[in-house]
Structure 1
Amino acid sequence: MAIDPDAEIDHGAPLTPYRQLAEILRARIRRGDWAPGRAIASETQLVQQYGLARSTVRRAIAVLVESGEVFTVPQRGTYVAEKPGSEAT
Structure 2
Amino acid sequence: MDYGPDDQVRHNAPEPPYRQLAGILAARIARGDWEPGWPIPSESQLIGEYGLARATVRRAVRLVVEEGLAFTVTGRGTYVTEDESKR
TM range (shorter): over 0.9
Q: Is residue 4 from structure 1 mapped to residue 4 from structure 2 by the alignment?
A: yes
What residue is the counterpart of 1:35 in the other structure? 35
Give distance in 2, aligned partners of 1:14 and 1:84: 33
Partner of 2:46: 46
Distance in structure 1 (CA, Å) of the matches to 2:85 and 2:22: 23
Instruction: Using structure 2 for the length normalisation, give the TM-score.
Output: 0.94
* Rg comparison, structure with higher value: 1
**TM-score, scaled to structure 1:** 0.92
C-alpha distance in 1, partners of 2:20/2:57? 10
Amino acid at match of 1:77: G
Mapping 1:36-75, distance limit 5 Å: 36-75=36-75
How far does the alpha carbon of each residue in 1:5-63 deviate from its partner, in whole angstroms, 9 at most, with x for none?
A: 11111011111000000000000001110011100000000001000000000000110
Give the number of equivalent residue pairs: 87
Which residue is 1:26 aligned to? 26
Could you give the per-residue CA deviations for residues 52-83 of structure 1, whole angstroms, max 9, x where no partner exists?
Answer: 00000000011011111100011111000011
Q: Which amino acid aligns with 1:32?
A: G
More helix per residue? 2
Runs of 4 or more, structure 1, over 4 Å off, are none
Q: RMSD of aligned C-alpha atoms?
A: 0.9
Other structure's SS at 2:86 match: coil
**In the alignment, residue 39 of structure 1 is paired with which amino acid?**
P
Identity value in percent: 57
